Every structure is written in structure tokens, then in C-alpha cells.
Amino acid sequence: MSMIHKTATEMAQALADKSITAVELTKQHLDRIAAVDGDVHAFLHVDTEGALAQAAESDAKRAAGETRSVLEGIPLALKDVLTQKGVPTTCGSKMLEGWRPPYDSTVVSKLKNAGVVILGKTNMDEFAMGSSTENSAYGPTHNPWALDRIPGGSGGGSAAALAAFEAPLAIGTDTGGSIRQPAAVTGTVGVKPTYGGVSRFGLVAFSSSLDQAGPCARTVLDTALLHEAIAGYDERDSTSINAPVPNVVAAAKRQEVKGMKIGVIKELMGDGFQKGVLDSFKQSLDLLQEQGAEIVEVSCPSFDYGIAAYYLIAPSEASSNLARFDSMRYGIRVGDDGQRGAEEVMSATREVGFGKEVKRRIILGTYALSSGYYDAYYGSAQKVRTLIKRDFESAFNLADVLVSPSTPTTAFKIGERANDPLAMYLADITTIPVNMAGIGGMSLPSGLSADDGLPVGFQIMSPAMQDDRMYRVGGTLEAALNDKLGKPVWAQAPELVVK
């Protein structure tokens, strides 16, 4: 019996019942990838041999009574920005074409220790810079709900793999919304944990003060189980928080919000938001109110400056982080004919290796950090960041969690915003404040837009190291929506993903 349309929790039960083996489950997903990924292009590299070896090891562990976690034997899609020993890691860039890291990132180590089977590496905007996965050097990923639409970015490959039933679990990274925005437009669940809650060791850096790896799945509980597996302190990451991981799994199962205060951020809805998105958001608020939550309005006026501040801080850090790609140590090298000097080779390599959007952000960041402009641009942006943190602190004094639509619109068409960077950047207007403050954020499906029948995301934000709060609210809303709709949003996808 095919299990690909089941949840990871259901797959785990089938493995525990021995009604299916990890090898059989892995083969089903590899077959699914072979059948549909030509249309979706969620994967950059499918590690067939490695995945089957991991699955065989998982079956042997289970037979010996040594099950490592509840996710033992469950397949997963890994965003191609995290190192995995011996497996190609490109970050969606020609710059790293052919590079096979000599070490595992902490996230990958934790996945292996939990017995998770890694199917392969997923497509992404180059070096995680983008909101549509159109900036990949290896071509765009297509949204399984409508192949002419974007799957979000930068982690569109991971979200699309979930929506197309190529994997039940995935890992993404979120610098300004790169987990939550793809989740919203593909009808899946994505969580950006508290900054420092999941190790960044082995995560190729875009913006070090903003980047955060996190779990992606089709249900809130599956996402919580993956969150639990990858979270925790890591001494190899200087930004890692040495504190207990919140009990996100128990929170996801609780499904009870009576007495909780849910704050609606008035600055994150209104002008520029699609009618179907706002209607779906308001219906979800009504459902939470019916479950006993109190809905209150909060104001975070500094959020109006979030986009501008983000696009100074993130490119500034990118211009510093990407300086390591110098053609001398790893990755491609262009123009080394034995006659040219190091600077010429470096220049030629970067011209070929970096794409248009990466070059744009490096130039912007270098300018913002340059002598005479540092205080006016980067310094001022950091002051705005402080104001955003203060707005969140004030809002959390009035509410247990904060909510907004995950994105202003449903998935737009591939190519529609390719030549308009500002329009592209505005896709992250609701998600960026969470990264600026370092708090937790979740997107889960809230239904389909009446405008176009495409998925809409509902964003939940919780205070730092209180990630369990968003799982509690998310689990409750998901259950209420499933009761209302009759079946989950992810199960309503069109023929491509259910054939």
C-alpha cells in the first residue's frame, strides 16, 4: 500500500506496526520523485544510494529493538544550504557546483541520529536570496498547486517537495521568511524557531544575525516532531542558546486555546493584501475565537520600516559572508590560465559564479558598509531593528501570541516579478519582523483563497524560546479548520499531487 499521501505521524505508526519497512517507504518516495519532479523541480540532487542505505540501517535498528526516535525511517528533503558529508551542496549557485562537503552540519547530524532518511537536496534561491526560487542557478521550482506559479522562496524546493508528496518532512532556512512564505503558498506548514534554537553550524551563511534553520511538514504535529529532533544547544555555534527546548510536541497535541489572548497586528494587513487572503485570515480568527481565545488588536508602528531596514542589514552581512567565495579554496575557478593574477581570477570567477540577485545584494551591502555611509545606512537600520524588538515586547505584554497573514498574496506567476525587485521583496513584508527580533514564527494553511483557489497561510508569532505557544495555537487552528473543511488543506491539491 502506498503511504506517500499519509502524514509523517501515520508513516511512523505504520513503521512501528511493521506494516511497512523504511526501505519500502523510501522507495515509494523515490518513485514519486521520479514520477513528478520533472514537472516540479523540487530537487537539485536525489541521493538514491545514500537514502536506501540509511533506510536499510533504520530497518536493522528497528529489528534489533534500537529505534532511535519516533521519526526513525521517515524520509526527508533537505534544503541545499546545509552541508551533508559527501553529498553535493550548491546553495543553488554555480559558485559551489560540484562541491561535496567533508562534514555534516549539526542539523544533518541530528537527523541521522534520529534515524531520519535524507532523500536529497532541494532547490532554492541562490545563497537563499529570493522569494520565489526563480534565482536558482539551476532553474525555478514550480508550485505543485499550479505549475505556472512560484512555490515561494528561498526554500521553494523544500515546500514544493512536501506539497507534491515527494517527502513527508523537509528542512528549510529562514532569513526573512524563507520557510514561512513558501509554506504559505504551497499549503504546507513551516516554522522559523527562535534564533539560536537550532544550530547554524554547517548552514552556509547569508545573513548571520538573521539565518535560522527550521522544520517543514504537512501538519503541525509532524513539524513539531521534526523541530524536537533538530533543536538544542550546540557548542560549535556561538549563537546557540543553552536552554531547554520548549515542549513543542505536547503543545501541538494540546489543541486548546481557551483563555489565550491572540494579538492581531494591525500594521500587517490592509492595503496591498489580496482580498481572499484577508477573508481567509479573518475566518481563522473566528475559529480561534470559537475555541475560546480572546482576539485583541495590537499596534507595532516600527514594522512599517522593517523592509527597508532588512534590505540594509541582510545585504551588508551577505557582502561580508560571501567574501569567502574567492575561487582559491573551494568551488569553481574561472580564468586560471597560469598567466592571470589572483585578483583577476577572483573577479572572473565571481562574474560567472554569482547570479544577478546575489550581485545586487553584495553591491548594496558593500555600499551600506562603506566609509561615510555606515552610520547613515547600516547603523540606522540596526536602530530600526531595536525599535521592532521593542514593539514586539510591548505587543507580547498584551497577547500570548501575535498573528497576521503569512503573505500579502497567494502564489504569483513565475516571471511576474522577475524584473521588479521591490515587488519581489514585498512578498516578505509580514515575515521579516520576526527575523529582525529573533523570535519564533509559524505559517500553517488557513484554507484556499476565494480569488484563485490557491493556498493561504496564517502566521503565528511567539516570544523568544516560547515556541510551544505557536504550536499550541497552530494545532488548535489546524484541527478546527479540518473539522470545518472536512479534510486538510494539503489534501485538497489538484491532480498533479494526488495522481
State the catalytic residues: 79, 154, 178
Q: What is the 3-state secondary structure (H, E, C) of 76-91?
A: EEEECCECCCCCCCCC
Torsion-angle region of residue 177: left (phi > 0), alpha (psi -120 to 50) or beta?
left
Ordered DSSP codes for 368-433: HHSTTTTIIIIIHHHHHHHHHHHHHHHHHTT-SEEEEESSSSSPPBTTTTTT-HHHHHGGGTTTHH
Query: Torsions phi, psi of 441, nearest 5?
Result: -145, 140
Where does residue 388 rank: exposed (0-12), middle (13-18), buried (19+ CB within 10 A)? buried
Ordered DSSP codes for 46-68: E-HHHHHHHHHHHHHHHHTT---
> If we measure between CA atoms, which residue out of 396, 411, 351, 324 comes closest to residue 146?
411
- What is the CA 247 to chain-centroid distance, rounded? 20
> If we measure between CA atoms, which residue out of 119, 123, 117, 118 comes closest to residue 43?
123
Contact criterion met (CB below 8 Å) for 32 and 166: yes
| Sign of the CA dihedral running 226, 227, 229, 230 | positive
Contact criterion met (CB below 8 Å) for 475 and 260: no
Contact criterion met (CB below 8 Å) for 251 and 472: yes
> If we measure between CA atoms, which residue out of 195, 166, 403, 120 comes closest to residue 284?
403
Strand partners, 442: 191, 460
Give the CA dihedral 215, 362, 133, 420, nearest 10 degrees. 130
Type of residue found at 445:
P
- What is the CA 265 to chain-centroid distance, rounded? 22
Contact criterion met (CB below 8 Å) for 175 and 431: no
